[in-house]
Structure 1
Amino acid sequence: MTSKYNNTFVYFDPVTNRAYKDTLTGSLQFAPATQMSAAIKKRSLRFDSQHEYFVYRVVLLHLPANLQLLRQVNFLVIPKNNFGNNVFYRADLVIVESSITEKTFRIECAKPYFSTEKFLVIEPKGILTEVAKLKHAILCASNKIPIAQLLFVEMNHLLTVPSEARTTLKQLPDKLQAKINDLFTVGKQHGN
């Protein structure tokens, strides 16, 4: 049986800094989603699992001021051809420099070749499903996102990705800081 930890939607209201979960009863961390008004639900961020929500919160907590966190970014990995339509990889979380606008970055990612080099894709993975295996295979085959710019945050130890691209929620702050230091010029203006 699949754990409910991964199958429950979580809603985060950034205005009140409160999280809601699709359950009948609340907890210390989550209020029941039935307590959300339509206005709160409209402005809330929806996460597909508790794990994805927790990864988002940890990343936000450790994100330097010169970087921004984007959600649900589509990367074109296989352009439209005679065999079929475009194939996109939707990254759950992406860190980019604050000097790049979100719209510009999203447009660049949808191109076959893009000029933005400094970004970090963070993929929360609780259970290694067939869809997750397919996403990993597409990423590896496309060479669109180098392994150095990819970080899978696993809930269990079933991911078959290289250790430099894998971490757990507990180890995320340290691994995230190391990746950010490697990829970005932290604390300095771009071009200095």
Structure 2
Amino acid sequence: MMQNALMPPEPLRAQIARSNVALSLAAAEADMPLIMVNRGFQRLTGFEHAAVIGRNCRFLQDDKTPVHQIAAMSVFLRDDTRDDGRFPVLNRRIDGTGFVNLVFLSKLRDHEGRIRFVIASQFDITTARQAAALAGNDEALIGALDMMRQTVGQFGLAMTDSAGLIARSITTLARFAVRDE
């Protein structure tokens, strides 16, 4: 049976769906259309699955989103030498409330090294002010990525080791918390 180029393997879809971490998956095509979001993403943003599929995540931005935040993600997505990155970005929920979203992006490559998908995890850092909450976010993300790494490996996709990137997120989040006080 031929795997649809836009559809990730079922075990990966199941893993994303089960995760409590807000996750979205985009196809590595011209405009990076979303092909899947989980309940965590829906809770975080207020947008239902059907309202976001086929759209680029830019719909979460508005005219108050700093241009440099958008540019940093765009540069990362065009850079074939980097597979993981994290980006704070001012986003809006469906009800219009703003939040600072710390987005972790990881490129999923096929066995030939081509980027097939981009998985994103999102954390609302406007409310993540306490060290315990920050550590909990990191632990949940590390667990989710470890399980996904195992799953995608079975289908010839690869995620580079994001553990160092994730481990540094506590420092990043703490800096934002201190800067905002």
- Give TM-score scaled by structure 1 length: 0.30
Structure with the largest fraction of helix: 2
Larger RCO, structures 1/2 (Cα 8 Å, 6+ apart)? 2
Which of structures 1 and 2 has the bigger CA Rg?
1
